[in-house]
């Protein structure tokens, strides 16, 4: 399920592009019947004891303080619809009286814990958005990764959410065991067909103490390199722009305890690396080997930031090239709008 990004009370309220304010409450692995091979939500969502009464009080304050604005209280980090009914009801009813037309709940859950009765309950409860931890739609990848559902079950869960008129978000994990260029294409086909409202991409990393760690120690699994994971997320970005699906997150939280990561493409500025890769792709189309490439300030920061990682990539892809920092207008005039509009 979508992991935590922070526990600071102020930092928790994240303003998204849609202007919807989100107040996340983390329920690490609660409602999960088993631990997925790569998962340690206690690590990702912080292993401090969480005071749920306090969180609910803070959520009430959040709902009241932003009255009239689009806002959601999000229950993340576990299988919300796998929680026993009494617990689900208690969490919802503690806050439901504070909702207005602009406020709703958002939950993350597992595809096997979605059916018509559950989606009906979600609608009645004020839940507007469901994020499904699908991880991969490909049958072979699901099998190799120990997921206990089929492609058909994953697709059915997505359709049930859409059919109920709820907003559908899906989490995918590039680089799962068994994934391949073909499975990437299969996933993209599903994302387009299912008309997702948004996508999260969390390239797989190997966390100490997980089943995947054991598999990796036996030499039976190799995660994507950082450059491969960035390239795959850039492919997703280009694909999603074409088909009109929003990507709201790429890469695991920057605040993760790095000492528990034993392998895999984690980077604290993963999203920036994806932007740098996309910029390099544009520059490749526009520049011959041995060119002097003019960059504006923002583009310069992408190429020179993160220890010049993408300067090295750029010079590998456009041999003999050099970069030069110029005023935005010059770069714009010379390169056209597509690059200056690059986000
Ligand atoms: S369902 Fe999500 S939270 Fe639960 S164990 Fe699997 S990945 Fe972790």
Cβ of 41 closer than 6 Å to ligand 1, yes or no, is yes
Pair 91, 56: CB distance under 8 Å: yes
Report whether pLDDT(322) > 80.
yes
Ligand 1 centroid from CA 8, angstroms: 23
pLDDT over 90 at 335, yes or no: no
How far is 61 from 36, CA to CA, in rounded Å? 34
Q: What is the pLDDT of residues 7-31, one digit of tens each?
A: 343 344 444 445 899 999 999 999 9
In angstroms and rounded to an integer, the radius of gyration of the C-alpha atoms of the chain is 21
Candidates 26, 31, 37, 39: which one to mutate for ligand 1, based on the most atoms within 8 Å of Cβ?
Answer: 39
14-265: which CATH topology?
Answer: TIM Barrel (3.20.20)
Residue 135 alpha carbon, nearest atom of ligand 1: 7
Average pLDDT over residues 216-240: 98
Spans of all domains in the chain:
14-265, 276-340
User: What's the pLDDT score for residue 220?
Assistant: 97
Q: What is the pLDDT of residue 222?
A: 98
How far is ligand 1, taken at its centre, from the CA of residue 249, in Å? 18
- pLDDT value of position 257: 79
Task: Report how far apart, in Å, the C-alpha atoms of 1 and of each of 61, 86, 130, 168, 202 are.
Answer: 25, 21, 11, 14, 10
- Read off the pLDDT of residues 72-115 as tens digits, 9 standing for 90 and up: 999 999 999 999 999 999 999 999 999 999 999 999 999 999 99
Report CA(62)–ligand 1 centroid distance (Å): 27
Indicate which residue's Cα is closest to atom 6 of ligand 1: 36
Whole-prediction pTM: 0.89
Our answer on whether the CB atom of 43 is closer than 6 Å to any ligand 1 atom is no
pLDDT at 285 over 60: yes
Question: How does pLDDT run across 300-318, given as a tens digit for each residue?
Answer: 999 999 999 999 999 999 9
* CA-nearest residue, atom 2 of ligand 1: 1
Query: What pLDDT, on a 0 to 100 scale, did the predictor assign at position 252?
Result: 87
């Amino acid at each position: 399920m979508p992991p935590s990004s922070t526990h600071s009370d102020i930092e928790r309220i994240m303003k998204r592009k849609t202007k919807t304010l989100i107040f996340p409450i983390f329920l690490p692995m609660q409602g999960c019947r088993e631990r997925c091979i790569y998962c340690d939500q206690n690590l990702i969502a912080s292993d401090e004891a969480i005071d749920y009464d306090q969180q609910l009080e803070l959520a009430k304050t959040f709902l009241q303080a932003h009255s009239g604005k689009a806002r959601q209280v999000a229950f993340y980090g576990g299988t919300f619809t796998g929680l026993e009914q009494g617990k689900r009801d208690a969490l919802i009813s503690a806050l439901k009286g504070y909702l207005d037309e602009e406020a709703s709940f958002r939950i993350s859950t597992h595809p096997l814990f979605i059916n018509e009765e559950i989606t009906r309950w979600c609608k009645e409860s004020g839940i507007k958005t469901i994020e499904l931890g699908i991880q991969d739609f490909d049958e072979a990848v699901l099998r190799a990764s120990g997921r206990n559902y089929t492609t058909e079950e994953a697709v059915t869960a997505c359709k049930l959410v859409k059919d109920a008129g709820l907003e559908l978000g899906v989490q995918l994990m590039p680089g799962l065991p068994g994934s391949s260029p073909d499975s990437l294409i299969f996933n993209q086909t599903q994302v387009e067909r299912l008309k997702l409202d948004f996508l999260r991409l969390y390239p797989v990393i190997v966390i100490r103490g997980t089943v995947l760690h054991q598999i990796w120690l036996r030499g039976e699994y190799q995660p994507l390199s950082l450059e491969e994971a960035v390239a795959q997320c850039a492919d997703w970005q280009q694909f999603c722009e074409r088909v009109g699906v929003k990507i709201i997150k790429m890469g695991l939280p920057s605040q993760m305890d790095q000492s528990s990561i034993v392998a895999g493409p984690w980077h604290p500025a993963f999203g920036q690396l994806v932007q740098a890769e996309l910029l390099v792709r544009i520059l490749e189309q526009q520049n011959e080997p041995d060119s002097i490439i003019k960059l504006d300030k923002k583009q310069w920061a992408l190429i020179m930031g993160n220890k010049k990682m993408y300067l090295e990539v750029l010079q590998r892809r456009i041999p003999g090239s050099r970069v030069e920092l110029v005023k935005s207008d010059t770069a714009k005039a010379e390169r056209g709008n597509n690059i200056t509009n690059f986000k």
